[in-house]
């Protein structure tokens, strides 16, 4: 059963210690730094344990809704939550939208277990999500203004020609590209075309926007596709997901037939 959400805290009760803020931001290095606190009642399920002693609820999913339509969702691992006998408190990053313009959305929450997904809670309040394009522009301006790290485009990277030589990969890419991500942007994030193929398979299999994967891979703290997945989907077994994607990625890497 999904936990009942009691709404956003008042400014006084929502104040966080410096340590909590640092932990929340470190767990989401590629999202905007703005956060809010979500607090709700702890149901019996949240304290329940499985036969092996582990907690039944392993994480919490926070959903951002436009009416009844889910716009974005993110997971907060249990270890990042502050849980007492009666209350659960989450520090939630305000995520960016990859395609849509900025919008005001409702926030709902549900617990995640190894079983079927439960129902979302009632609305816990609202928050404004900014467009990822605006967020990227802000990052670029900061990079231009002072001592930014070396961009990946200046390191060894793939080329658009390598993508063009692989029609299956190019076809699979097309529905994953949007106004914020074009095929010409991909060399900044990938040093091997094999990694791009893996990212495409993972984006489709786990509903992770390719633009978010690319953004994470441009962060020096991430460095690898596995690291990017750990950042974007903390409760996903990233290493297993990458391994499971390899057969599908190999199918995308076939070149044009030679005469």
Give residue-wise pLDDT tens across range 120-131. 999 988 888 877
CATH number assigned to the domain comprising residue 22: 2.60.40
Looking at residue 196, its pLDDT comes to 94
Residues 45, 110 contacting (CB under 8 angstroms): no
Domain boundary among the residues 83, 110, 135 is at 135
Domain boundary among the residues 74, 105, 135 is at 135
Domain count, the chain: 2
| Structural domain span for residue 22 | 5-135
The predicted-structure confidence for 166-203, as pLDDT tens digits, reads as follows: 999 999 998 888 766 788 888 888 889 999 999 999 98
Residue 73's alpha-carbon distances to 117, 146, 176, 228, 242, in angstroms, are 13, 33, 18, 17, 21
Give pLDDT < 70 ranges for the chain.
1-33, 97-100, 132-156, 179-180, 220-223, 256-259
Burial 194-217 (b: 16+ CB within 10 A, else e): ebbbbbbbbbeeeebbbbbbbbbb
Domain boundary among the residues 81, 110, 135 is at 135
Domain assignment present for 234? yes
Domain assignment present for 259? no
Domain assignment present for 91? yes
Domain assignment present for 217? yes
Domain assignment present for 140? no
Same domain, yes or no: 123 and 178: no
Domain assignment present for 146? no
């Amino acid at each position: 059963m999904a936990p009942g959400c009691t709404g956003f805290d008042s400014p006084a009760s929502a104040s966080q210690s410096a340590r909590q803020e640092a932990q929340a931001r470190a767990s989401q290095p590629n999202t905007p730094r703005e956060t809010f606190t979500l607090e709700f009642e702890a149901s019996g399920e949240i304290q329940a344990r499985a036969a092996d002693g582990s907690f039944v609820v392993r994480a919490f999913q926070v959903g951002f809704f436009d009416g009844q339509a889910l716009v974005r969702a993110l997971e907060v691992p249990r270890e990042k939550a502050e849980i007492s006998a009666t209350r659960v408190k989450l520090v939630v990053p305000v995520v960016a939208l990859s395609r849509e313009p900025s919008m005001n959305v409702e926030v709902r929450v549900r617990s995640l277990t190894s079983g079927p997904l439960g129902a979302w809670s009632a609305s816990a309040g609202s928050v404004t999500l900014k467009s990822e394009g605006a967020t990227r522009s802000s990052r670029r301006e900061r990079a231009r203004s002072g001592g930014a790290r070396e961009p990946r485009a200046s390191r060894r990277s793939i080329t658009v020609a390598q993508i063009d030589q692989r029609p299956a990969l190019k076809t699979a890419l097309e529905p994953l590209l949007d106004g914020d991500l074009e095929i010409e942007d991909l060399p900044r994030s990938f040093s091997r075309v094999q990694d791009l193929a893996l990212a495409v398979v993972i984006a489709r299999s786990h509903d992770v926007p390719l633009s978010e994967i690319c953004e994470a891979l441009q962060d020096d703290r991430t460095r690898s596709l596995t690291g990017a997945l750990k950042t974007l989907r903390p409760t996903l077994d990233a290493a297993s997901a990458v391994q499971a994607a390899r057969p599908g990625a190999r199918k995308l890497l076939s070149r044009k037939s030679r005469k």
